[in-house]
Amino acid sequence: MQAEIERLFDNPPAEYTAEHKSTFTDFLQALTEGRVRAAEPDESTITGWRVNAWVKKGILLGFRMGTNVDMSVGSLSFRDKDNYPIQQFGADKNIRIVPGGSSVRAGAYLGKNVTCMPPMYINVGAYVDDGTMVDSHALVGSCAQVGKGCHISAASQIGGVLEPVGALPVVIEDEVLVGGNCGVYEGTIVKRRAVLGTGTILNRSTPVYDLVHNTIHRATDADPLVVPEGAVVIAGSRAITNGPGKDWGISVYTPVIVKYRDARTDTRIQLEDLLR
């Protein structure tokens, strides 16, 4: 499958045949079932993750192959590629899709006991593992990887990275709490059991200041921003120290690690387990 996907992506035919479309259908089913992933754990890398560029090529190939068709539901008008329908769920994995306007696109994997509160959206290539809750108005973007037992709180954005195909998508590891109105973008990796306080924004451009270990976490040209395991991150500010910004008393936004997860932190967030 990988060889055929890469061949079709790198050397597009004049016309896609039924055989080509069958290859894509098999690929999309494997993606939906979690048998292939846009990124996966790899202890041999600095970040602990590696991207599977061929999978991202397969997703993009689907957009090339597909035809824009009417997908309206009742009085609500929708149009999208015919080979990327909305997923339908049975009872086998005990997934809860609470009524109220949520949707999960084909090609996204949802594990057992995932809860989706309305309205939320999970895009193609995303991987949401067992026991995670995606709350109201939250987005899990294309190819984003979300671990077990996480809570993606209301209005949070887990950005997807579909292009370039070689770029690592956003990764949220196991048991992470993403607070309300957070944004995690540009391939950032949030290690297991971290906590992001309300309104925290993480991307490649903004360093994270670790007050506990007196260090600064930054993205590099080669590697994304990585938030350490168990870190408790809140939205902070940093004073500008020169030029007009200093004279005017201006500060700029920066995320700050104020502590690392402990028993008190666990007690404050254990309510999440009661909601699943």
- Model pLDDT for residues 1-43, shown as the tens digit of each residue: 999 999 999 999 999 999 999 999 999 999 999 999 999 999 9
pLDDT at residue 262, as a whole number:
86
Pairing of strands 49-51, 39-41: antiparallel
pLDDT at residue 264, as a whole number:
75
Q: Give the C-alpha separation, 14 to 2, whole Å.
A: 21
Give the CATH number for residue 224: 2.160.10.10
Instruction: Say which DSSP state 151 is in.
Output: E
Name the stretches of the chain with pLDDT < 70.
265, 267-276
Q: Is residue 241 part of a domain?
A: yes
State pTM to two decimals.
0.94
pLDDT at residue 225, as a whole number:
98
pLDDT at residue 267, as a whole number:
63
Structural domain range at position 183: 93-274
pLDDT at residue 73, as a whole number:
85
Q: Is residue 215 part of a domain?
A: yes
Q: Is residue 67 part of a domain?
A: no
Q: Is residue 78 part of a domain?
A: no
Q: Is residue 183 part of a domain?
A: yes
Q: Is residue 49 part of a domain?
A: no
Q: Is residue 60 part of a domain?
A: no
Say how many domains are in the chain.
1
pLDDT at residue 263, as a whole number:
74
Residue partners of 211: CB distance under 8 A and separation at least 6:
256, 257, 258
Q: Would you say 59 and 142 are in contact if contact means Cβ atoms under 8 Å apart?
A: yes
Instruction: Specify the residue for token string 């292939």.
Output: 36
pLDDT at residue 76, as a whole number:
84
Q: Is residue 66 part of a domain?
A: no
